[in-house]
Amino acid sequence: MAELGRRMFFTAAGALATVTAVGTHAFASGHARDARTADEYVDVQLLNITDLHGYLQAAPASNAVITGAGGKKYTVGGVAYMAAHLERLRAGRANSLFFAPGDLFSGWEFPAESLADEPTIEALNRMGMNFASAGNHEFDKSPAFLSQHMVDGISYPTVDWDNSFVDSAGQRFHGANFAYYSANMVWAKDGRTVLPPYNIEWVDAGRGRRLPVGFIHLTVLGSELMPASYQPGLRSLDQLATADRCAAELKARGVNAIVLSMHDGAVAGGDFNSGTNPSGPAYELALRCSPDIDAIVCGHWHTAFNMMVPDPNGVRRPFVEAGCHGQIINEINLRLDPATGKVIRELTTSTNHPNTRDVAPHPELAEVVKYWAGYGTRRAAVPLGKQTASFTRTRNEAGESTMGDLVADWALWAGRQPQGPMNDANLDPPTPADLAVIAIAPRLGQAIIAGDLVYDAATDGTVAFGKAWNAVGFGDPIVTATVTGQQIHDALEQQWTVPVGGGLKYAPLAVSANVRYSFDATGPAGNRVDPADVLIDGRPLDVSRSYRIAAPSYTLLNQDGYPAFTGFAQPFRHNRDFESFVAYVKERGRIEPAPLNRVTVKNGGVTGARIGEIHAPERLRSAAGVVLPRAEAAALAANRPTAEGFRVPC
């Protein structure tokens, strides 16, 4: 996060950009600051948070402190504090709306993450969330999971295990008391939106009158191709064109106050309540989108800024992002002309309030947090099955490990599962996998294996839920796809690379139990694996035929350095790694380390033979040295195009 102050994006509209830095205030004009009495206006308070990611107890250590004006530090996070701040901010306000531009879940605090993100929905319900945009992570399971389960509360197998847990009030999960929207996530098959594109809220204008305020919602472009929210049956539409089209529709329906809530962001300096030197896709959009849009509320980038940016007519409008993980509540105050319902733009104000922990926590939310934390602890201890011995990441000479083999066997199992009840965004059928690969020490990115499964003698080898959950996964699905034998061969060759400065780097792929291969330790990088030495179900790899391969989306999408897999066909997305690995251990009941005989070294004893150096990726840390949450680390470390150095963390 040390890089936030740097300019990361080239700004085509450079001349406009120079006039947008506004220091620590975000008043549209001096009038906005002074106009405190407002009987002649209709005041509308907009409160928003973003990218909560299920951090109900507290922000993770890497995000627990934010920096304000003059370098002042604030320790922030936790919904019990957030609820107290919200109560204070809302006091005396007739028209107040609370919303979020996305990534409220997936949640990476264990109770939320492992209890189907239902704790997050309960907390948001109790904090009075009115509506939300779908972020990329709202599609980490499926569109059906979002709409039918999270919003409508429809259960799917198996109640009390996968979903539909009993909440802190003793009620079975009933879904969100608020709706999700996205104007630009559509079904690939027919172009229809997955969710409603916008909502119209009616605010009290006094004397029995009401005025409409429209909210347009955008999901970050390309969400369907991100490793976690990989959904072959979805497409995302251009953000600017969609925003302008929706603004025109709202205008045509008589809505004269319009807010854009978008799950895409920008960087704009290091002070959370200011904005300097902005850059990023949301900023480019903010400069260009319809002047009928009165405020632009961002997310996704996990950055915090608060500023006014001129619309194409040169009239200023708020452009804000409220950090992540419950750090900040943004408050925009719109003043509407009671006759026309238009926003009197020069009277708009905006503030980023830190969600500090120095206030009394809201007792109701504190109780909710405590309840789910306890539930998480009990869930972590639930036995899934037995193991006969330890599975470790310790590698033999060929680069093979018992943990790698176990995870590759899980991937094959996962890639042979039928379509799940909520898995509704695939275009192709779930043709079962022929083989599976797992990058155990990838060239790039993070490893999907996070820990060992150590035999616990005291419980006779019981594998508990929390142990399995914490050993495997970073929030991405297993995908089965069609590749050629040539692609499989080439990926095996890509295990070896010559780093700058020489030497030989080995980034081993674990393979499922039905695969054997050997490599020639005397061969150069790129020519070590003979297809005849790769056996799938006992038959040599045929480079000219096609195979169904199962692997994490992260690997197939070339996030970890095996580009041979790109160009795969007929992908089928299966369940997410966390839930799927736990389900595998539970179904197997008893797991036993396999003999390390899947990978063998040819010519290992010959002069000049080299296995290659294996470097397991380190867990990524923040600038302050704090280990990052696994999902965030996987995204940050992934091999993906970045704009001048800034990597969006999720």
| Shorter beta-carbon distance to Zn ion: residue 109 or 490 | 109
Choose the stretch contacting Zn ion; rule: CB under 5 A; options: 142-150, 171-179, 264-272, 297-305. Answer: 297-305
Q: Are 114 and 465 in contact (CB under 8 A)?
A: yes
Pick one of 136, 239, 426, 518: the residue that binds Zn ion (CB under 5 A).
136
Q: Are 356 and 68 in contact (CB under 8 A)?
A: no
| Shorter beta-carbon distance to Zn ion: residue 225 or 373 | 225
Q: From the CB of 625, what's the least distance to Zn ion, in Å?
A: 25
| Shorter beta-carbon distance to Zn ion: residue 136 or 236 | 136
Dihedral (CA of 149, 153, 154, 159) sign = positive
Choose the stretch contacting Zn ion; rule: CB under 5 A; options: 294-302, 384-392, 409-417, 462-470. Answer: 294-302
The long-range contacts involving 220-224, CB below 8 angstroms and separated by at least 24 positions, are 220/102, 220/135, 220/136, 220/263, 220/264, 220/300, 221/184, 221/264, 221/281, 223/135, 223/136, 223/139, 223/185, 224/139, 224/185, 224/425
Q: From the CB of 445, what's the least distance to Zn ion, in Å?
A: 18
Q: In what order do the strands lie in the sheet with 349-354?
A: 179-181, 131-133, 96-100, 42-48, 328-336, 349-354
Choose the stretch contacting Zn ion; rule: CB under 5 A; options: 130-138, 150-158, 274-282, 478-486. Answer: 130-138
| Shorter beta-carbon distance to Zn ion: residue 28 or 650 | 650
Q: From the CB of 51, what's the least distance to Zn ion, in Å?
A: 6
Helix/strand/coil for 279: strand
Q: From the CB of 181, what's the least distance to Zn ion, in Å?
A: 15
Q: From the CB of 133, what's the least distance to Zn ion, in Å?
A: 10
Q: Are 528 and 600 in contact (CB under 8 A)?
A: no
**What are the φ/ψ torsions at residue 434 (nearest 5 degrees)?**
-90, -30
| Shorter beta-carbon distance to Zn ion: residue 328 or 344 | 328
> Distance between the two ends of the chain, CA-based, in angstroms?
13
Phi-psi region of 373 (alpha: psi -120 to 50; beta: other; left: phi over 0): alpha
| Shorter beta-carbon distance to Zn ion: residue 228 or 259 | 228
- Between the CA of residue 449 and those of 183, 364, 444, 625, 640, what are the distances in Å? 36, 37, 14, 21, 21
Tell me if 103 contacts Zn ion by CB under 5 A: yes
Q: From the CB of 258, what's the least distance to Zn ion, in Å?
A: 23
Choose the stretch contacting Zn ion; rule: CB under 5 A; options: 101-109, 333-341, 430-438, 482-490. Answer: 101-109
- Between the CA of residue 143 and those of 39, 136, 148, 166, 243, what are the distances in Å? 44, 11, 8, 23, 21
Q: From the CB of 635, what's the least distance to Zn ion, in Å?
A: 9
Q: From the CB of 52, what's the least distance to Zn ion, in Å?
A: 11
| Shorter beta-carbon distance to Zn ion: residue 51 or 284 | 51
What burial letters (b/e) apply to 569-590, b meaning 16+ CB within 10 Å? Answer: ebbbbbbbbbbbbbbbbbebee
| Shorter beta-carbon distance to Zn ion: residue 415 or 649 | 649
DSSP readout, 48-98?
Answer: E----TT--S---GGGSEEE-GGG-EEEB--HHHHHHHHHHHHTT-SSEEE
Q: From the CB of 649, what's the least distance to Zn ion, in Å?
A: 8
Residues in the chain: 650
Choose the stretch contacting Zn ion; rule: CB under 5 A; options: 121-129, 132-140, 142-150, 628-636. Answer: 132-140
| Shorter beta-carbon distance to Zn ion: residue 203 or 650 | 650
| Shorter beta-carbon distance to Zn ion: residue 59 or 650 | 650
Q: From the CB of 73, what's the least distance to Zn ion, in Å?
A: 25
Tell me if 300 contacts Zn ion by CB under 5 A: yes
Site map 243..282 versus Zn ion, x via CB under 5 A: ----------------------------------------
Q: From the CB of 220, what's the least distance to Zn ion, in Å?
A: 6
Choose the stretch contacting Zn ion; rule: CB under 5 A; options: 2-10, 27-35, 103-111, 368-376. Answer: 103-111
Helix/strand/coil for 630: helix
| Shorter beta-carbon distance to Zn ion: residue 385 or 649 | 649
| Shorter beta-carbon distance to Zn ion: residue 59 or 464 | 59
Q: Which helix (H) or strand (E) holds 539?
A: strand 539-540
Choose the stretch contacting Zn ion; rule: CB under 5 A; options: 25-33, 73-81, 194-202, 299-307. Answer: 299-307
DSSP state of 453: B
| Shorter beta-carbon distance to Zn ion: residue 234 or 347 | 234
DSSP readout, 162-221?
Answer: TB--B-TTSPBP---SSEEE-SSEEETTT--BSS-SEEEEEEEEETTEEEEEEEEEE--T
Give the number of other Cβ atoms within 10 Å of residue 145's Cβ: 25
Choose the stretch contacting Zn ion; rule: CB under 5 A; options: 99-107, 151-159, 513-521, 635-643. Answer: 99-107
Please name the residues in contact with 227: beta carbons below 8 A apart, sequence gap of 6 or more: 476, 552, 553, 554, 557, 559, 634, 635, 638
Q: From the CB of 460, what's the least distance to Zn ion, in Å?
A: 43
CA angle 88, 91, 97 (to 5 degrees): 95
Q: From the CB of 126, what's the least distance to Zn ion, in Å?
A: 23
Q: From the CB of 647, what's the least distance to Zn ion, in Å?
A: 12
| Shorter beta-carbon distance to Zn ion: residue 300 or 395 | 300
| Shorter beta-carbon distance to Zn ion: residue 438 or 650 | 650
Q: From the CB of 139, what's the least distance to Zn ion, in Å?
A: 10
Helix/strand/coil for 153: coil
Q: From the CB of 299, what's the least distance to Zn ion, in Å?
A: 6
The residue nearest Zn ion at its CB is 300
Burial of 613 (0-12, 13-18, 19+ CB in 10 A): exposed
Choose the stretch contacting Zn ion; rule: CB under 5 A; options: 127-135, 231-239, 461-469, 570-578. Answer: 127-135
Tell me if 239 contacts Zn ion by CB under 5 A: no
Pick one of 185, 334, 468, 650: the residue that binds Zn ion (CB under 5 A).
650
Whether the upstream peptide bond of residue 106 has omega within 30° of 0, thus cis, is yes
HEC sequence for 574-602: EEEHHHHHHHHHHHHCEECCCCCCCEEEE
Footprint of Zn ion on residues 344-383 (CB under 5 A)? none
Choose the stretch contacting Zn ion; rule: CB under 5 A; options: 228-236, 300-308, 479-487, 490-498. Answer: 300-308
| Shorter beta-carbon distance to Zn ion: residue 234 or 436 | 234
Footprint of Zn ion on residues 435-454 (CB under 5 A)? none
Residues binding Zn ion: number (CB under 5 A): 5
* Contact residues: Zn ion, CB under 5 A: 103, 135-136, 300, 650
